[in-house]
Amino acid sequence: MRNAEEKSKTWGSAAKESFLAYIRTLAIIWQSGPLAVLGMMLLTLSLGVVPACQFFVTEHLVNAITAAIGDADWWRSVLPWLVGLLGLRILSAAVDLLREPLYIHLGENIEIWINEGIARKVDTTELVELQKGEFQNSLGRARGVSGLALQEILWYFVDSLQQFISVATLGIVLWRYHPLLALLPALTGLASWWSDSRFSADLYDFDVEQTPQRREQDALEGTLTDRGTGKEVRLYQARDLWIDRWHKLGQALIDGQMGIRRRKFSVCLSLDITRGLLYAGSLILLLFEVFRGDLTVGTYIAAAAALVQLDGIWNEIAGRFQGMVDVMRPLFGDLYQFLDSKSDATVQEDTDSTDTNINELDENRTVQDIAIENVSFSYPNSQEPVLSHVSLTLNKGERVALVGPNGAGKTTLARLLLGLYRPHAGVIRVGDVPLTQENRREWLMYCSAVFQDFTQYHLTARENIIFGDLEHPDRMETASIAGGAASVVDGLAEGYETVLGPTFGGRDLSGGEWQRLATARSFMRETPWLVVLDEPTAALDPLAEQAVYERFIERSAGRTSVLISHRLSSVRTCDRIIVLDNGTIVEDGDHDTLLAKNGLYARFFRAQAQWYV
C-alpha cells in the first residue's frame, strides 16, 4: 500500500513538473514575439475548417458532374465547385506562406534567449565546476537544444488545435452516415501515439546515457580537424588511429539506436495493417449504404476521401502530441534543468567578521593587505588537495613571487587570491573583509591579471585590448604601449581595426605577439589593488621579456602584485619570494635570504644559473 502511495506521489510530482514546464515554454515563446504568436495562431486555426469545406465542395462537385452528363451547358453547374476547390487550395498555400516569416522571427528570438541563458549560467557557475565531467555533459546537452525546439512546441500546439477543429467538423459529417466511421480512425490514432511515445522515450534515455561517448566523439573530430593538433597528428601519423576510434564510437551509437528502431518498426507495421483493414471495412460499410439507395455516388466518393483524410488527421494529431513530448524531453531534461541547476561545490567560508563590501573598505580606495588564513583547495576528482592549510599575508603594495615545481599549487593560489576559485576550507580577507560568494565579483573589479593560458580573441586588435576594461576604452593606446602591443599593432594593415586569428579570415599572430596583446589587456585597469602575472613571458624573447618586467615593476608600484615564473632570474627584484611544494609553503624570504638558506629555491636558482655561466 505504501509503495502504491509513493508511486502515486511520484507520478503526481512528475505530472506537476511537466505541466509547469509546458507553461514555462509557452511563456518563453510568448515573450519572444507576442504579435508573431497571435498571427500564427489565427492563421493556423483558420485552416481547421478547410477539410469540412473540401468535403462539402467535393460532394457537390461529383453530384453536379453526374447530373450534367450529356448536358451541353454542363460547365454552368460544375465550374463553381471547381473554383471552390481551387480557392480552398490557394487559401491553404497562402496561410503557409504567411506563417513562415512569423515562424522564423520567433525562432531567431528564441535562439537568442537560449544562448544568452546558457552563457549567463556558465558565467555564474564556479570556475572549478566547469572542469567536472558531469557539468560538461549537462552543458553539452543544453547547448544541443536549439530555438527550433521551442518553435516546434508552438507549431505542434497550434497545429493540434487546427487538427482538432478538422476532426470535429469531419467527424460530425461522417457520424451522419455511421458512428463507426468517425470513431475507428480515432482508435488507430491513439494506438499510433502510444507506440511512438513508448519508443521515443527509449531513444531519449539511450541518448542521455551516450552523452559522454558523444562528447568523446566530438573531441576526436576536433583533434582531426583542428590546426593546432594537426601538426602532431601528421608528425606521428596518428590519423588512422583517431579515425578508427571515432568510427567505433559512432558505430556503437548507431547499433544501440537501431535495436530500438527495429522494435518500433514491428509495432508500427502491425498498426498500419490494422489501419488498412479498418479502412477497407469502412468502405464496404459505405457501399452497402449506396446499394440501399441511402447515399449518392458523390457522397460515397466524398465520404471515402474524408475517411482517408480523417485517418490522416488523427495520425497527425498523434504525431503532434508525440512531437511535443519529444521536444519537451530535452527542453525539460536538458535545458531547463541546466539553467535551474545549483552548484554542488561544498564551501566553508568564515564570514563572521563583517558584512562590509569591498568598495567600502576605504573612501580613498587605497590598497589593503590580503590575508590567506588556513586555506585548502582540491580540484574535482582529485585524490590529493592542491593546497593544504596555507596561511600567508600579502602586505599592501608588496611585490611577491610564487615559485616552485610544477603542480605545487602556484596558479591555484593566484586564482584563489583573484576570487576565481573559492577555498574548500579557510578564508581569504581583503583588509578586514572576507571574500565571499556575494562580494567576489565585486573584488574582481579591483584586480588585473595576465594568465599563462591567456585567451586569443579572434576579433579586432582593439577589442582584444579593451576587454580589460570596457568602461574606459580611452585607455587603450596607453595600455597598448605599456603592454608592448603597440609595436604589434603598428605592423597590422588596418591598425587596431585589424581582425585577428584565422577563424574569421583575419591576420594570425605569433605566440609572443598574442601575449603582448594579453599583457596590454591587463594594463587597461589603471588602479587595481592586486596584479597577477602568471608566466607572462613564456612566449617572449629575452629583450621583450625584460621590457615586460620593467613595465610591470613600474606599473605595480604602490599595488600588491604577484608574479609566477619558472625563470628565477626575473623574480630577484620582488620584495618576497614564496616557495611552494606539494601544496604548502616551504620557504619565504627575499632572494639573498633564500640563497643563504640553501633550500629548494637555491637548488632551482643554481640549476638555471649554470647554463648562463
Domains and CATH numbers, the chain: 12-340 (1.20.1560.10), 455-527 (no CATH)
Residue 24 near residue 150, CB atoms below 8 Å: no
Residue 580 near residue 385, CB atoms below 8 Å: no
Distance CA 329, CA 202 (A): 11
Q: At what angle do helices 74-123 and 2-32 cross, to 10 degrees?
A: 100
Give the rounded distance of the alpha carbon of 482 from its chain centre: 37
Q: At what angle do helices 147-175 and 74-123 cross, to 10 degrees?
A: 150
Give the HSE-up count for residue 60: Cα atoms under 13 Å, Cβ half-sphere: 14
Sign of CA dihedral 254, 259, 260, 262: positive
Residue 522, SS3?
A: helix
In this model, does residue 155 exceed pLDDT 80?
A: no
What's the longest Cα–Cα distance across the chain? 123
In this model, does residue 353 exceed pLDDT 70?
A: no
Residue 344: pLDDT band with limits 50, 70, 90: very low
Cell representation of residue 329: 524531453
- Residue-level pLDDT at 366: 60
Task: Give 401 or 355, the one with higher predicted confidence.
Answer: 401
- Residue-level pLDDT at 613: 55
Task: Give 193 or 443, the one with higher predicted confidence.
Answer: 443
Number of Cβ within 10 Å of residue 141's Cβ equals 20
Residue 295 near residue 286, CB atoms below 8 Å: yes
Q: Which of 223-237, 258-272, 375-389 has the highest mean pLDDT?
A: 375-389
The sheet carrying 387-394 orders its strands as: 387-394, 370-377, 425-430, 433-434
Q: Which of 235-239, 273-277, 510-514 has the highest mean pLDDT?
A: 510-514
Distance CA 18, CA 336 (A): 11
Number of Cβ within 10 Å of residue 32's Cβ equals 22
pLDDT digits 0-9 by tens, 107-140: 788 888 888 888 888 888 888 888 787 888 888 8
Q: β-strand 576-581 against 530-534: which pairing, if any?
A: unpaired
- Residue-level pLDDT at 462: 93
Distance CA 438, CA 98 (A): 49
Cell representation of residue 542: 629575452
Cell representation of residue 394: 600579502
Residue 584, SS3?
A: strand
Q: Which of 291-295, 430-434, 490-494 has the highest mean pLDDT?
A: 490-494
- Residue-level pLDDT at 2: 44
Determine the straight-line distance between the first and last CA of the chain, rounded to whole angstroms. Answer: 85
Residue 579 near residue 599, CB atoms below 8 Å: yes
- Residue-level pLDDT at 365: 54
Task: Give 79 or 306, the one with higher predicted confidence.
Answer: 79
- The DSSP letter of residue 523 is T
Residue 361: pLDDT band with limits 50, 70, 90: low
The one-letter amino acid at 499: V
Closest-CA residue to 256 (of 203, 199, 326): 203
Give the HSE-up count for residue 445: Cα atoms under 13 Å, Cβ half-sphere: 10
- Residue-level pLDDT at 489: 92
The one-letter amino acid at 257: Q
Cell representation of residue 496: 587596431
Number of Cβ within 10 Å of residue 576's Cβ equals 19
Distance CA 464, CA 73 (A): 81
- Residue-level pLDDT at 605: 86
Task: Give 574 or 342, the one with higher predicted confidence.
Answer: 574
Residue 140 near residue 211, CB atoms below 8 Å: yes
Give the rounded distance of the alpha carbon of 118 from its chain centre: 5
Question: Which CA distances in Å does 503 have to 92, 227, 231, 517, 544?
Answer: 44, 11, 18, 18, 27
In this model, does residue 402 exceed pLDDT 70?
A: yes
Mean pLDDT, the chain, rounded, equals 78
- Residue-level pLDDT at 577: 92
Distance CA 572, CA 604 (A): 13
Distance CA 348, CA 505 (A): 47
Residue 461: pLDDT band with limits 50, 70, 90: very high
Residue 419 near residue 464, CB atoms below 8 Å: no
Cell representation of residue 440: 567576489
Number of Cβ within 10 Å of residue 147's Cβ equals 20
Residue 174 near residue 364, CB atoms below 8 Å: no
- Residue-level pLDDT at 463: 92
Residue 68, SS3?
A: coil
Q: Mean pLDDT throughout 200-211?
A: 73
Number of Cβ within 10 Å of residue 176's Cβ equals 11
pLDDT digits 0-9 by tens, 8-62: 445 456 556 767 777 888 888 888 888 888 887 788 777 777 777 887 788 788 8
Distance CA 478, CA 568 (A): 29
Distance CA 559, CA 366 (A): 9
- The DSSP letter of residue 435 is P
Adjacent-strand bridge partners of 448: 531
Number of Cβ within 10 Å of residue 451's Cβ equals 19
Helix locations, 210-336, DSSP H: 211-225, 227-235, 239-291, 297-330
Task: Give 586 or 205, the one with higher predicted confidence.
Answer: 586
E strand spans, 356-510: 370-377, 387-394, 399-403, 425-430, 433-434, 447-450
The one-letter amino acid at 111: E
- R_g of the chain, CA atoms, integer Å: 35
